[in-house]
Amino acid sequence: MEKITSSDYQIMQIKSASEADSELMKSLVQLLKDAVAKNYSVGFMKDSTEADFEKFWIDEIAQCESENGLFLAMVDRTVMGCVIVTRESRANGRHRAEFRKLLVHSIAQKQGIGAALEKAATSYAYQLGLKLLYLDSATAFLVEGVYEKWGWKKSGQIPKFAQNPDGSLVSTWFFYKLLD
């Protein structure tokens, strides 16, 4: 794939499983494969299969008809980035959601896609009336200033919390963003 430029992508929200055709699913699988190949701690290991990635996306997309949000950065019909907003379902936590799986394909990084996805997800959470977003991240370049630039606050770090795809243990930072 060719490296893309900042004017090439559009942000869209998936609202139902009917929007996820086989071409989109293949592209979502490729996005996860790219993250694992780059050794990003995204919940999968080097030996994860395409079937593992596809099952993940099938499960996530099935939740889009609830108040969970899945936002994609698209270039034509190719997914270049994503982020998921997962609303807490327990009664005492209905005011918050987890900000998850902010991924940008390696050929599309440094083009503002991550910032555009963060903005779309945060706006969506605000429109739902949520008061708090939280996330955890082991990705060094995001932890070292990017999230804070977007208005997130660091709340702490746990050493050896997650594994990279190669099995190495990494610290994970926790962040929050107040929406009111």
The residue among 123, 125, 117, 120 whose CA lies nearest residue 142 is: 117
Residues in the chain, pLDDT under 70 = 1-7
Average pLDDT, the chain: 93
Output the pLDDT for position 140. Answer: 76
Which of 32, 124, 114, 126 is CA-nearest to residue 73?
114
Please name which of 98, 170, 173 lies closest in space to residue 133, comparing C-alpha atoms: 98
In the prediction, which pLDDT does 139 show?
Answer: 77
By three-state DSSP, how is residue 28 classified? helix
Cβ neighbours of residue 75 closer than 8 Å, sequence gap 6 or more = 4, 8, 9, 10, 108
- pLDDT on residue 1: 47
pTM value? 0.94
